[in-house]
Amino acid sequence: MESKLGFLFDIGIILLAANIGGIISKKLKQPVVLGQILVGLILGMGILEKTETVSQLAEIGVVFLMFIAGLETDVNELKASGRSSSLIALGGVLIPFILVFAGMYIVTSNFLASLFMGVIATATSVSISVQTLREIDQMRSRQGIGILGAAIIDDVVGIILLTLIIGVVRPGENNNVFLVIGKIGIFFIMTFIIGYLLIRVMSKISTKINIDDKIVSFAIVFCFILAFLSEELGVAAITGAYFSGVVFSMTSCRHKLSHEVHRISSIIFTPIFFVAIGLGVDLRAAISALGIGIILVVLGSLGKIIGCGFGAKISGFGNKEALQIGFGMVPRAEVAIIIANLGLAINVINEKQLASVIMMVLITTLITPSLLKWSFGRA
Amino acid sequence: MESKLGFLFDIGIILLAANIGGIISKKLKQPVVLGQILVGLILGMGILEKTETVSQLAEIGVVFLMFIAGLETDVNELKASGRSSSLIALGGVLIPFILVFAGMYIVTSNFLASLFMGVIATATSVSISVQTLREIDQMRSRQGIGILGAAIIDDVVGIILLTLIIGVVRPGENNNVFLVIGKIGIFFIMTFIIGYLLIRVMSKISTKINIDDKIVSFAIVFCFILAFLSEELGVAAITGAYFSGVVFSMTSCRHKLSHEVHRISSIIFTPIFFVAIGLGVDLRAAISALGIGIILVVLGSLGKIIGCGFGAKISGFGNKEALQIGFGMVPRAEVAIIIANLGLAINVINEKQLASVIMMVLITTLITPSLLKWSFGRA
C-alpha cells in the first residue's frame, strides 16, 4: 500500500516545484514556463523519476494546451489582419525551415532529423508573443496585430507541417506521401463533419435541456477521444486536440471553455507537463548539445527575423516596423518542445536534439523581451 | 504508440458515461453519484477495464472529495447546533455500528469484517442530506440544522473510527491498539502543528507577495503530500486529505479553495472515482450479495432512525421531529463506499461485502427523499 500512493507524493513535489519555479520566474520577469522546465531539470538530477503516471498526466497537460490553443484560434481575427499576417507567417515558416534544415543537414547528415528540426524551428509561441507585447503595451499596435495574426497562422501551418512529417516518418506505416496527405485530408474532413454535426446537435439540445454546466465535460470528452482517434489514424494526438479546440471555437461557449479548461489544466496538468519535460532531459546531453543548440538558436532566430521581417516589408510595413515584427516572432515555447518531444518519442530526433530545442526555447524566450523593448524604445 | 494513448480513450469514455449517467439521474431526480456508479457497473461488464491510470485518477478524485469535505467542516456551525447535534451524531454512530456489527457477525462469523461493516454503517452522507433537505425546503428548520450539525460530527467520528480500525487491521503492522491510537495521536498533533505553522507562514507571506493565485496549487500540494504521509504513518490517505482540508478551513481562503478544488475535481477526477467504483464491482458478486445487502440496508437504516431519533428526543425534539431527523440521517454515499473500497484494498472485507455497501448506498439514497417528504408532509 505504501508505494501504491507514491504517485501522490510525486505529483505533490512536481506541483510544488512548478510553483516555486513559476514564482521565481515571475520575480525575474521571465515566463513561468521557463522556471517550470528548469525545476524539472533540477528534479531530474536524481531526485524524481519520470514515472508512467507522471508521463500520462503530462500527456493530458499537452492535450489541454493544444485544445486551448485551438479554442483561441479566432477565424475572424485572422481574416481582419488578413494579407499581411499571412505574408508574415509565410516568411516566418519558410525561412527558418530552410535555414535550420540546411544548417542541421550540413552538421548531422540526417535528412529526416534535419527536416524535423526545420519544422520545430517554424513554431512561434503565441503565448509568449502576447505576454511580451502586453508588457510593453504594444498589443493593439499595427505591428502587434500583425504579429498576433501571423502567430495564429504560423500555429496552424506548423501543425499541418508536423502532421505531414509525422505521417512521412512514422515507422511501420506506408511512407507514400500522397497516401499520408489523403489520410490527413480524411482526418480533417472527418473532424469537421463530426464537429459540424456536434455543433448542430448541441444547439438543438441546448434549447431543450440546459447543457451549459455540462459543456466543459463534453468538450473534454470530445477532445480526448478525437486526440486518441487522430493518433490511431496516424495523425498526432495534439493535432486532434488542437482541432477539437477549433471546432468548439466556432461555438458560443468558446470563452467559457477556454477559461474553464485553462483553469483545470493550469493547476494540475500543464505544470506537470512542463516539469516533466525538464525531468525527461538528460542534462549531460544538453551540455553536449551546446554546438547544435547554438546553430539552432542563431539560425532559428535569424530565420524568423528575416522571414517575418521580409513578409511584413512586402505587405506595407516600414523597415523599423518590419524589424519589430521579426523580433516579436522569435520566441519559441511549448509547441516547439511538444513537437521535439514527439520527435523523440517516434525516434526521429535524439535526446541531444531535444536538448538543443530546449536551449532554443530558453534563449529565445530570454532575449525576446529585451529585443522588443529595444526596438520599440527606439521608435 | 497506439496503445500508449489508450488511457485518453478510457478517460474520454468514462467521463462521457459519467455525464450521461449524471444527466439521467438528474432527470429521475436522483443524486448524480448514483447514475455514475450505475454506468460504471455497465461499463464494467466487459466494455472497459479498471486500468492503473484509471485507479490513480480515481484515487486523486477521492483525495479531492475528502479534502473538500475537510474544507467544508465548519467548527463554528458545529458549536451553534452544539449539544443536540452531538447527541444525534452519537446515537447515529453507536446504534448502526452495534446493529450492523452484531448482524454481520451472526451471519459471517468474521470479527474484523463485521467490525469494519459496522464502521461503514456509521457514515451518513452530508451531501445527500443537504440535497434532500434543500429539495423539500427544510434546510433552515430546527431539524435541518440538527441534521447538518450531526452529519458533520458523524463524518469526523466516522473518520476517527475508520482510522482506528485501519490501524488495528492493517496487516504486517503492530496490532497493539494503544500504539495505534498513539500513532494516530501523533499524526493529528503533527498535522495541526504543520497546519498551524503553515497558516502562520501563509499570513505573513501574503502581506509581502500576492499568494492568492497560488493558494489553490499550494493547498493541493499540501493535501497530496499529507495524504501520502498519513498513509505512510499507518493512517488512511483520505484521513490526511480530510485533515489538510480542515487545516485550510481555518484560513480565509476556505471558500475559494472549496470552490476551485470542487471545480477541478468535479469535471475530471470525481466522476472517474465514482465510475471506477462501478467498474470495480463484480456484478455477479453483487447479486450473490443480495442477502447480506438486505441485512445491511435494514439494520443500517433502522440503526440511524432509532439512534439519531433517540439522540434527538433526549435533546428536546418531539416525536415527529425526532423521526424526521432519523430519516434525514439514513442516506449513505461516497464515504461509505470509500471506506468499503479501502476495506477491500486491505483485504478486510470481500467483494460481496463491498457490493452490499453499494446496494446500501443505492437503496438508502433512493428511499430517503420519499421518507423525508412523507414525514415532513404529515407535519
pLDDT in tens, chain B (379 residues): 335 688 999 999 999 999 999 888 888 877 677 788 889 889 988 888 888 889 899 989 988 988 887 787 666 665 677 788 889 999 999 999 999 999 999 998 999 899 999 999 998 875 556 666 666 677 667 788 788 778 767 766 776 787 777 777 765 554 455 666 677 677 778 887 888 887 787 777 766 666 666 889 989 999 999 999 887 776 667 778 877 888 888 888 888 898 899 888 889 998 998 898 788 766 776 677 888 899 999 999 999 999 999 999 999 899 999 999 999 899 887 678 878 888 898 888 988 898 899 888 878 877 777 788 788 875 4
CATH number of the domain where residue A329 is located: 1.20.1530.20
Interchain CB contacts (distance < 8 Å): A and B: 121
Of all residues in chain A, the one with the smallest CA distance to B210 is A23
Of all residues in chain A, the one with the smallest CA distance to B272 is A217
User: How close, in Å, is residue A320 to chain B by CA atoms?
Assistant: 38
> Is A93 within the bounds of a domain?
yes
> Is A46 within the bounds of a domain?
no
Cα separation, B159 vs B321, in Å, equals 27
Weakest-pLDDT range from A57-66, A271-280, B127-136: B127-136
Range of A93-97, A138-142, B164-168 with top mean pLDDT: A93-97
Q: Using the beta-carbon criterion (under 8 Å), do B268 and A264 form an inter-chain contact?
A: yes
| Residues 45 through 64 of chain B touching chain A, CB cutoff 8 Å | 52-53, 56, 59-60, 63
pLDDT classification of A2: cutoffs 50, 70, 90: very low
What pLDDT score does A220 carry? Answer: 94
Of all residues in chain B, the one with the smallest CA distance to A346 is B1
Range of A280-284, A368-372, B58-62, B168-172 with top mean pLDDT: B58-62
Question: Are B257 and B270 spatial neighbours (Cβ–Cβ below 8 Å)?
Answer: no
Cα separations (Å) of B31 from A207, A265, B128, B135, B356?
A: 24, 27, 7, 12, 19
Judging contacts by C-beta atoms under 8 Å, the chain A residues touching residue B23 are: 209, 214
User: How close, in Å, is residue A22 to chain B by CA atoms?
Assistant: 10
Q: Using the beta-carbon criterion (under 8 Å), do A263 and B268 form an inter-chain contact?
A: no
| Residues 345 through 374 of chain B touching chain A, CB cutoff 8 Å | 345-346
Q: Which residue has the higher pLDDT, B134 or A15?
A: A15
Judging contacts by C-beta atoms under 8 Å, the chain A residues touching residue B267 are: 216-217, 220, 260, 264
Of all residues in chain B, the one with the smallest CA distance to A211 is B23
| Residues 170 through 209 of chain A touching chain B, CB cutoff 8 Å | 209
What pLDDT score does A294 carry? Answer: 92
* DSSP states along A135-192: HTT-TTSHHHHHHHHHHHHHHHHHHHHHHHHHHHH-TTS---HHHHHHHHHHHHHHHH
Judging contacts by C-beta atoms under 8 Å, the chain B residues touching residue A2 are: 231-232
Question: Are B46 and B89 spatial neighbours (Cβ–Cβ below 8 Å)?
Answer: no
Nearest to A231 among B2, B52, B56 (CB): B2
pLDDT digits (tens, 9 = 90+) for A223-274: 999 999 887 776 667 778 878 888 888 888 888 898 899 888 889 998 998 8
> Is A358 within the bounds of a domain?
yes
Cα separations (Å) of B110 from A140, A258, B114, B353?
A: 73, 53, 6, 12
Domain tally, chain B: 1
Selected residue of A221, A235, A261 to mutate for chain B interface (largest B Cβ count, 10 A): A221
What pLDDT score does A8 carry? Answer: 92
Of all residues in chain B, the one with the smallest CA distance to A234 is B2
Q: Using the beta-carbon criterion (under 8 Å), do A5 and B263 form an inter-chain contact?
A: no
- B5 Cβ partners below 8 Å, 6+ apart? A59, A227, A228, A231, A237
pLDDT classification of A1: cutoffs 50, 70, 90: very low
Judging contacts by C-beta atoms under 8 Å, the chain A residues touching residue B219 are: none
Q: Using the beta-carbon criterion (under 8 Å), do A19 and B214 form an inter-chain contact?
A: yes
> Is A163 within the bounds of a domain?
yes
Please state, as a whole number, how many other Cβ atoms lie within 10 Å of the Cβ of residue A288.
15
User: How close, in Å, is residue B133 to chain A by CA atoms?
Assistant: 23
The rounded Cα A372 to chain-centroid distance in angstroms is 21
Cα separation, B375 vs B379, in Å, equals 7
Q: What is the mean pLDDT of residues A196-219?
A: 75
> What nine digits make up the cell of A185?
485530408
| Residues 69 through 98 of chain A touching chain B, CB cutoff 8 Å | none
Q: Using the beta-carbon criterion (under 8 Å), do A268 and B264 form an inter-chain contact?
A: yes
* DSSP states along B307-326: HHHHHHHHTT--HHHHHHHH
DSSP H or E stretch at residue A308: helix A290-314
- Give me the domain span that covers residue B70: 3-377
pLDDT classification of A127: cutoffs 50, 70, 90: low
Judging contacts by C-beta atoms under 8 Å, the chain B residues touching residue A216 are: 267
> Is A23 within the bounds of a domain?
no
Q: Using the beta-carbon criterion (under 8 Å), do A232 and B11 form an inter-chain contact?
A: no
Q: Using the beta-carbon criterion (under 8 Å), do A8 and B59 form an inter-chain contact?
A: yes
Q: Across all residues in chain A, what is the average pLDDT?
A: 82
User: How close, in Å, is residue A264 to chain B by CA atoms?
Assistant: 5
Nearest to B12 among A12, A216, A225 (CB): A225
What pTM value is reported for the model?
0.76
Q: Using the beta-carbon criterion (under 8 Å), do B15 and A220 form an inter-chain contact?
A: yes
User: How close, in Å, is residue A13 to chain B by CA atoms?
Assistant: 7
Question: Are A154 and A89 spatial neighbours (Cβ–Cβ below 8 Å)?
Answer: yes
Selected residue of B23, B63, B228, B275 to mutate for chain A interface (largest A Cβ count, 10 A): B228
Selected residue of A3, A4, A5 to mutate for chain B interface (largest B Cβ count, 10 A): A5
Judging contacts by C-beta atoms under 8 Å, the chain B residues touching residue A56 are: 7, 53
> Is A175 within the bounds of a domain?
yes
User: How close, in Å, is residue B88 to chain A by CA atoms?
Assistant: 35
> Is A264 within the bounds of a domain?
yes
Angle value at C-alpha B57, between B54 and B59, nearest 5 degrees: 105
State ipTM: 0.75
User: How close, in Å, is residue A219 to chain B by CA atoms?
Assistant: 10
Q: Using the beta-carbon criterion (under 8 Å), do B220 and A267 form an inter-chain contact?
A: yes
User: How close, in Å, is residue B143 to chain A by CA atoms?
Assistant: 32
Q: Using the beta-carbon criterion (under 8 Å), do A231 and B13 form an inter-chain contact?
A: no
Q: What is the mean pLDDT of residues A59-88?
A: 80
Nearest to A264 among B1, B56, B267 (CB): B267
Alpha helix locations (H) across chain B?
A: 6-27, 32-43, 52-71, 75-108, 111-122, 126-135, 142-169, 177-208, 215-232, 237-249, 254-264, 270-279, 283-288, 290-314, 319-328, 334-345, 351-377
Question: Are A308 and A84 spatial neighbours (Cβ–Cβ below 8 Å)?
Answer: no
Nearest to A228 among B12, B220, B224 (CB): B12
| Nearest by Cα to B117 from B350, B367, B287, B370 | B350
Judging contacts by C-beta atoms under 8 Å, the chain B residues touching residue A60 are: 8, 11
Nearest to B232 among A2, A60, A216 (CB): A2
What value does the CA radius of gyration of chain A take, rounded to a whole number of Å?
20
